[in-house]
Structure 1
Amino acid sequence: MTAHARNRLNADFSNPVRLSIMGSLNTVEEADFKTLRDALGISDSVLSRHLSALEDKGYVKIRKGFVGKRPRTWAKLSPEGRVAFTDHVQALKEITGLA
């Protein structure tokens, strides 16, 4: 008997904001904080908290720097994060019959 696809869902992506962050970062090489915040329609504090949690789990890499004299933050999926997200999405497709 094969395990149901729901057993392959990643609990770290069960929060809609985290799922949205992962989905947004999956489509680009890297995104700056402001662009990501605006695309998701969330506050700075919410994005910061969820990015930190995803970074702590090793799914996201954060880079800080400057553009001119202004500080900037960029985020991108780690190789492990990309694999974990792809696996999660595949499990969702199987559960919904879209695979």
Structure 2
Amino acid sequence: MSAEPRDPLAGFDTTIHAPHRLRICALLETAGEAEFSLVQKELGLSASALSKHVTVLMDAGHVEQRKAVRDTRRRVWLRLTKQGRAAYQGHLAALRAIVGPSDPAP
């Protein structure tokens, strides 16, 4: 007896779905780990706006940060947690299920 297929929409994550948070997750998925200032520059956000979005993602368990001193400056690096990576991938699958298959341009 086979298990019923999982509903792809079950992976829809309202925390990740906000545009800036989705972009943060996409960047971290690709980079693995990125310095806060790089994420800020890539997304064109103020430090305070990025910090607010990162806090929401951290509170959800999707992102973690590592702090260290480098070149006498305190630096913060961000990365997706294992749970965050799974949530991001599930969210992408849900979005693909919503929009359906794309047809190649004629």
* TM-score using structure 2 length: 0.84
Residue aligning to 2:45: 42
Residue 19 (structure 2) aligned to one of 10, 16, 19: 16
Residue 57 (str. 1) matches residue 60 (str. 2)? yes
Query: How many residues matched?
Result: 99
Which amino acid letter does the alignment assign opposite residue 92 of structure 2? V
Larger radius of gyration: 2
Q: Is the 8 A contact 2:8 2:90 kept in 1?
A: no
Letter in 1 for 2:13: N
> Any residues of structure 2 matched to 1:76-95 within 5 Å, and which?
76-95=79-98
Other structure's SS at 1:98 match: coil
Query: 2:11, 2:91 within 8 Å by CA — same for their partners in 1?
Result: yes
Deviation at 1:56, TM superposition (A): 1.1
Unpaired runs of 5+ residues, structure 1, are none
SS in 1 for 2:76: strand
Q: RMSD value over aligned CA atoms?
A: 1.9
Unaligned 5+ runs, structure 2 = none
Q: How far does residue 8 in structure 1 lie from its aligned partner after superposition?
A: 3.1
The residue matched to 1:84 in structure 2 has which SS? Answer: helix
Q: Which amino acid aligns with 1:8?
A: G
Moved over 6 A (4+): none
Query: Which whole-Å deviations, capped at 9, do the CAs of 1:33-91 have from their partners, x for residues lacking one?
Result: 11100000110000011111111111001111111211100000000000000000011
Sequence identity (%): 35
Structure-2 change in CA distance of 1:3 and 1:77 (3 Å): closer
Instruction: Tell me what 1:72 maps to.
Output: 75
